[in-house]
């Protein structure tokens, strides 16, 4: 889904702003992003986002079968009990938590728009 | 319902522990915009005249602008305003990083800190939850260790502004470090230290609403494209950082060397390519496409292992040519020490160069310097002196009081200092650039290059450069730049973006984000900058500033530059200052007239 080059990331967090705006139009924030830049000054700790891995530990771990795969991870909010087992299971730390609703947040590729990729000024995150 | 703005001001009194939240009012937002404007609006009305900067009476204001925290490019800036212990006058310092946006996501446009705690504390802000927390375990740590420990305790997404040992020790050179960026100049770190406030830690969960999302997004895209297509913000700064102007300043004779005695060195001076060899990666402030910040590391030699986010152009000058030093590795180590101890790299480097000058003239001996051979270019001694200043050890205690103090206390040193109003000068010789001379003389916080930077109009304006040597049109340039830069420091935007974008491109960002129509009017925005500058002037006059202080050290009138492209140049700013006063609508003794204050609607304020 993504090709990531941590060494090119500048920690500007334009990807997080764009991701939040793509899912909450008109909201200027990084707090509802499905991608997270982990800072480890002076280096970058990681570009954390769903890597669409084969193992799919999030889906396997969910005790309520609330997660399915349809080109990206899909959450059934009616089934989700917000236990965050999936968040802990992801080896890429690629699942965030909504600050108010507490639901896990999954990358959905912005329905093919890839908002984060479009705004990254250095190409640290690209489509694979 | 506020758009763009968070709509609330947080106020914490460290003496009583009282925590208040006040609503932002529309009149203040429209007239003072944010940032520096909110800072002076608070200090002018609330700081008692003549308040001692390092007493509980002083007030600290962390203020964001309307664009802070939004997707507007290079808009993550934050202002820190207080009364300066270095100058006894107004101080605002501007820093990037991440703290400003986080403060807004926590729900506050500004944070006002009054009083003083009895024991070391930190202030923790998590949305509505605000607490004053004992900070014994952090007191005594440098700023890098403080950041690390706080992030381990809270989270890496908690954003921090803190002081190091130099602020704890109340040095007027002390700065406030935020996410490894600096509120550098004027000693705000000592004000935090005097309040026993080690750090402010903030984490927010919210965001800002946009008034007209379509228009705002369109203007953001236009700004991003403009910045990317500019040779400055799209190529030079991403490649070289702020050091990109090193060669230019050298070739034009503006770059001062050896405590402003010369403009050349016997050795080849450091240029941007020399510094770039040490860069390992780019970093950017929040929401910034320019990425002018670099991480530099030293991999061999006596300073092996040294690293810094930088070094910035000003530091490369202050610890470099200003000290007759061409060893980039030692400059990286010196900047790291400044950041770690929490002190201003311009002022500290300026002090060290001044000390070397005194030593070389025989005014200081090794008895006065704890054995340090303070010679031009002695990089080991330069770094050692920086350590003494950082921890105020031995002679470092007096050295950390700044150049103006040292001129008075080192016998024979009077007149050797390069400072204005008690703030050490940065990396431009005022004799070489007549515009810069006026900029220094009239800057509201003393010797500073960021209230206006007329060099841009003098040599970098491709269509109509004004030239360095003439005084013609310099008052006009300085006045209009001061008002524009002031507006930028109210907005949350970075000056580097404002060098490329026009005000006509910036204004729609304000109005489409906030929905406040008047903020979309470029003329009104510039007028807000002028209003804020005039209120700062009234503040400074109240604190005892006189027109006689709007000048430069006498040495720049009497000592011609002895070498370089501007050989023979001197500068007398008195005529330019009078013209500047007239343009500003100030009296001959530098006071804003009643008529001007009425026009700017400051009448009811004073």
Distance from CA of B219 to the nearest CA of A (A): 14
B210/A27 CB distance under 8 A: yes
Please give the pLDDT value at position B472: 95
C-alpha distance across the termini of chain B, in Å? 30
Cα(B259)–Cα(B418) distance, rounded to whole angstroms?
A: 7
Please indicate if any CB of chain A lies within 8 Å of the CB of B101: yes
B61-90 pLDDT, tens digit each: 999 999 999 999 999 999 999 999 999 999
Q: What is the chain A residue with the closest CA to B213?
A: A26
* Interface probe, candidates B66, B97, B180, B207, chain A, greatest A C-beta count within 10 A: B207
No. of H helices and E strands in chain A? 4, 9
Q: Confidence band (pLDDT; 50, 70, 90) for B453?
A: very high
**Rg of chain A on CA atoms, in Å:** 14
CA dist., res. B344 & res. A3, Å (int): 40
Are B400 and B441 members of one domain? no
- In a domain, residue B225? The reply is no
Say yes or no to pLDDT of B604 above 60: no
| Listed residue (B434, B495, B420) closest to B467, CA to CA | B434
Both B446 and B410 in one domain: the answer is no
Is B221 a member of any domain?
Answer: no
**Taking a C-beta distance cutoff of 8 angstroms, is the pair B40, B82 a contact?**
no
| β B110-114/B121-126 pair status | unpaired
Residue B605 has pLDDT above 60, yes or no: no
Contact B288 A12 (CB under 8 A): yes
CA torsion angle for B405, B406, B411, B416 (degrees, to 10)? -110
Enumerate the residues of chain A whose CB falls inside 8 A of the CB of residue B69.
28-29
Q: Which residue of A has its CA nearest to B215?
A: A26
Q: Which chain B residues are Cβ-neighbours of A38 within 8 angstroms?
A: 156
* Domain presence at residue B580: yes
B-contacting residues of A 64-123, CB under 8 Å?
Answer: 99-100, 119, 121-122
Of A6, A7, A9, A12, which to mutate for an interface test with B (greatest number of B Cβ within 10 Å)?
Answer: A12
Q: How far apart are CA B199 and CA B259, in angstroms?
A: 34
Are residues B171 and B190 in contact, defined by beta-carbon separation less than 8 angstroms?
yes
pTM of the shown model: 0.97
Of the residues B177, B203, B229, which one is the last residue of a structural domain? Answer: B203
Q: Is residue B222 part of a domain?
A: no
* B584/B417 Cα distance (integer angstroms): 29
**What mean pLDDT do residues B201-226 have?**
98
Interface predicted TM-score (ipTM) of this complex, two decimals: 0.97
Nearest to A31 among B206, B284, B293 (CB): B206
CATH number, position B584 = 1.10.599.10
Residues B36 and B164 in one domain: yes
Segment B75-130, tens digit of pLDDT? 999 999 999 999 999 999 999 999 999 999 999 999 999 999 999 999 999 999 99
**Topology at the third CATH level for domain A2-127:** Alpha-Beta Plaits (3.30.70)
Kindly report the CATH number assigned to the domain that includes residue B288: 1.10.569.10
DSSP lists the bridge partners of residue B161 as B178, B200
B513 shares contact with chain A (CB less than 8 Å): yes
Whether B71 sits inside 8 A of A21 (CB atoms) is: yes
Same domain, B445 and B381: no
B314 touches chain A (CB under 8 A): no
B496 and B397 share one domain: no
Cα–Cα distance for residue pair B588/B279, rounded to 1 Å: 49
Instruction: Indicate whether B371 and B514 sit together in one domain.
Output: no
Q: What is the mean pLDDT of residues B148-161?
A: 98
Identify whether B261 is part of a domain: no
For residue B226, is it within any domain?
no
In the A/B pair of chains, how many CB contacts fall below 8 A? 91
CA distance B36 to B486: 7
pLDDT above 90 coverage of chain B, percent: 98
Contact residues on chain A for B4, CB-CB shorter than 8 A = 28
Q: Provide the 8-state DSSP code for B162.
A: E
The answer on B24 and B107 residing in a single domain is yes
Q: pLDDT, tens digit, for every residue of B181-196?
A: 999 999 999 999 999 9
* Chain A touched by B325 (CB under 8 Å): no
| Per-residue pLDDT band at B606 (split at 50, 70, 90) | very low
State whether A28 and B69 contact (CB < 8 Å). yes
Task: Report chain B residues whose CB lies below 8 A from the CB of A44.
Answer: 281
Within-domain flag for B568: yes
Contact B209 A7 (CB under 8 A): no
Q: Which two tokens stand for residue B548?
A: 């006689």
CB B121 within 8 A of CB B198: yes
Q: Indicate if the pLDDT at residue A96 is higher than 50.
A: yes
Residue B299 maps to a domain: yes
pLDDT beyond 50 at B6? yes
Cβ pair A99:B205 closer than 8 A = yes
Domain end marker among B176, B203, B230: B203
Helix B503-514 × helix B522-542 angle, to 10°: 90
Residues B454, B385: one domain? Answer: no
Which residue blocks in B176-327 are alpha helix, DSSP H?
Answer: 188-194, 213-229, 237-240, 246-251, 272-276, 313-318
Instruction: Write out chain B residues lying below 8 Å of A27, CB-based.
Output: 207-210
Looking at the fold, whether B453 and B369 belong to one and the same domain comes out as no
The pLDDT mean for chain A works out to 97
Side-chain-side CA neighbours of residue A107 (13 Å): 27
CA nearest to A14 within chain B: B287
Residue B69 sits at the chain A interface (C-beta within 8 Å): yes
Determine whether B463 is exposed, middle or buried from the number of CB atoms within 10 Å of its CB (0-12, 13-18, 19+). exposed
Q: How many angstroms separate the CA atoms of B149 and B199, rounded?
A: 12
- Percent share of chain A, pLDDT over 70: 100
Q: Which candidate from B156, B180, B287 shows the least CB-CB separation from A13?
A: B287
Residue B300 and residue B328 in one domain: yes
CA distance B511 to chain A (A): 14
Question: What pLDDT sits at residue A6?
Answer: 96
Q: Please indicate whether, in this complex, the C-beta atoms of B207 and A28 are within 8 angstroms of each other.
A: yes
Residue A57 has pLDDT above 60, yes or no: yes
Query: Reduced to 3 states, what is the DSSP secondary structure of residue B574?
Result: helix
Structural contact between residues B114 and B99, judged by C-beta atoms closer than 8 angstroms: no
The DSSP bridge partners found for residue B295 are B281, B309
Q: Cβ distance B295 to B354 under 8 Å?
A: no
Residue pair B506/B526 in contact (Cβ under 8 Å)? The answer is no
One domain, residues B394 and B542 = no
CA atoms within 13 A on the CB side of B533: 30
Query: Is a pLDDT exceeding 90 seen at residue A128?
Result: no
> B71 lies in which domain range?
8-203
Say if the Cβ atoms of A38 and B179 lie within 8 Å. Answer: no
Q: What is the average pLDDT value for chain B, to the nearest integer? A: 97
In the three-class reduction of DSSP (H, G, I as helix; E, B as strand; rest coil), residue A64 is classed as coil
Give kind and range of the element (H or E) at residue B407.
Answer: helix B403-409
- Yes or no, beta carbons of B71 and A24 under 8 Å apart: no
Number of H helices, E strands in chain B: 25, 18
pLDDT for the residue numbered B603 = 61
Give CA–CA dist B482/B434, Å, rounded.
16
A23 reaches B (C-beta below 8 A): no
Show which of B418, B452, B480 is a domain's final residue: B418
Are residue B388 and residue B456 in the same domain, yes or no?
no
Tokens 């106020």 locate to B11
Nearest beta carbon to residue B309 from set A7, A29, A42: A42
- Total number of domains in chain B: 3
Using the 8-state DSSP alphabet, how is residue B586 labeled? Answer: B
Contacts of B593 (CB under 8 A, 6+ apart): B585, B586, B587
Identify whether the C-beta of residue B281 lies closer than 8 Å to the C-beta of residue A7.
yes
Residue B470 is encoded by which pair of tokens?
A: 């003439």
Domain ranges of chain A: 2-127
Question: How many CB atoms lie under 10 A from the CB of residue B236?
Answer: 18
């Amino acid at each position: 889904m993504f090709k990531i080059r941590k060494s090119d990331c500048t920690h500007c967090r334009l990807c997080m702003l764009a991701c939040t705006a793509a899912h909450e139009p008109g909201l200027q924030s990084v707090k509802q992003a499905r991608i997270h830049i982990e800072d480890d000054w002076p280096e970058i700790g990681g570009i954390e986002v769903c890597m669409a891995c084969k193992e799919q530990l999030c889906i396997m771990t969910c005790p309520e079968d609330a997660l399915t795969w349809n080109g990206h991870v899909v959450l059934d909010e009616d089934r989700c009990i917000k236990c965050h087992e999936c968040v802990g299971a992801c080896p890429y730390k690629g699942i965030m938590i909504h600050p108010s609703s507490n639901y896990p947040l999954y990358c959905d590729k912005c329905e093919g728009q890839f908002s984060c990729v479009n705004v990254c000024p250095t190409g640290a995150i690209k489509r694979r | 319902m506020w758009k763009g703005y968070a709509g609330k001001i947080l106020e914490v009194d460290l003496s009583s522990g009282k925590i208040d939240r006040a609503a932002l009012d529309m009149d203040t937002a429209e007239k003072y915009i944010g940032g520096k404007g909110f800072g002076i609006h608070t200090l002018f009305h609330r700081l008692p005249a003549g308040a001692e900067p390092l007493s509980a009476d002083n007030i600290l204001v962390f203020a964001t602008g309307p664009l802070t925290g939004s997707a507007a490019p290079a808009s993550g800036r934050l202002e820190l305003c207080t009364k300066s212990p270095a100058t006894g006058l107004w101080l605002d310092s501007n820093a990037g990083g991440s703290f400003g946006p986080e403060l807004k996501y926590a729900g506050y446009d500004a944070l006002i800190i009054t009083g003083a705690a009895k024991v070391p504390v930190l202030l923790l802000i998590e949305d509505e939850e605000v607490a004053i927390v004992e900070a014994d375990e952090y007191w005594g740590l440098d700023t890098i260790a403080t950041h690390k420990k706080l992030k381990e305790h809270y989270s890496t997404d908690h954003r921090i502004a803190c002081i190091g040992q130099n602020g704890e020790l109340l040095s007027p050179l002390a700065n406030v470090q935020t996410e490894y960026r600096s509120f550098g100049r004027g000693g705000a770190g000592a004000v935090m230290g005097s309040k026993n406030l080690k750090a402010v830690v903030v984490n927010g969960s919210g965001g800002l609403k946009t008034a007209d999302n379509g228009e705002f997004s369109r203007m953001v895209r236009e700004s991003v494209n403009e910045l990317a297509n500019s040779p400055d913000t799209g190529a030079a700064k991403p490649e070289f950082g702020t050091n990109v102007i090193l060669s230019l300043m050298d070739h034009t004779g503006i770059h001062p060397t050896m405590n402003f005695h010369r403009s050349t060195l016997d050795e080849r001076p450091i240029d941007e390519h020399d510094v770039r060899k040490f860069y390992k990666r780019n970093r950017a402030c929040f929401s910034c496409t320019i990425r002018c910040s670099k991480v530099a590391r030293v991999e061999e030699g006596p300073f092996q292992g040294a690293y810094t986010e930088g070094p910035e152009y000003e530091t490369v000058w202050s610890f470099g040519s200003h000290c007759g030093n061409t060893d980039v590795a030692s400059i990286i180590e010196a900047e790291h020490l400044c950041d770690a101890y929490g002190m201003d790299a311009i002022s500290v480097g300026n002090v060290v160069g001044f000390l070397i000058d005194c030593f070389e003239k025989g005014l200081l001996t090794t008895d006065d310097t704890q054995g340090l051979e303070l010679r031009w270019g002695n990089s080991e001694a330069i770094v050692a002196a920086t350590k003494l200043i950082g921890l105020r050890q031995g002679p470092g205690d007096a050295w950390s009081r700044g150049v103006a103090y040292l001129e008075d206390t080192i016998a024979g040193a009077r007149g050797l200092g390069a400072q204005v109003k008690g703030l050490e000068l940065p990396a431009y010789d005022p004799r070489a650039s007549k515009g810069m001379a006026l900029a220094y003389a009239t800057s509201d916080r003393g010797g500073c290059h960021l209230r206006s930077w007329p060099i841009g109009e003098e040599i970098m304006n491709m269509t109509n450069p004004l030239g360095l040597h003439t005084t013609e049109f310099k008052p006009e340039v300085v006045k209009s730049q001061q008002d524009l830069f002031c507006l930028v420091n109210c907005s949350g935007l970075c000056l580097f973006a404002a060098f490329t974008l026009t005000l006509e491109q910036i204004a729609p960002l304000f109005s489409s984000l906030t929905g406040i129509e008047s903020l979309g009017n470029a003329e009104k925005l510039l007028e807000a900058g002028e209003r804020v500058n005039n209120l700062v002037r009234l503040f400074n006059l109240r604190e005892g500033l006189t027109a006689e202080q709007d000048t430069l050290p006498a040495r720049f009138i009497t000592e011609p530059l002895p070498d370089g492209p501007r050989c023979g140049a001197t500068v007398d700013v008195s005529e330019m200052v009078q013209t500047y006063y007239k343009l500003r609508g100030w009296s001959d003794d530098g006071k804003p007239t009643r008529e001007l204050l009425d026009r700017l609607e400051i009448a009811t304020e004073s």
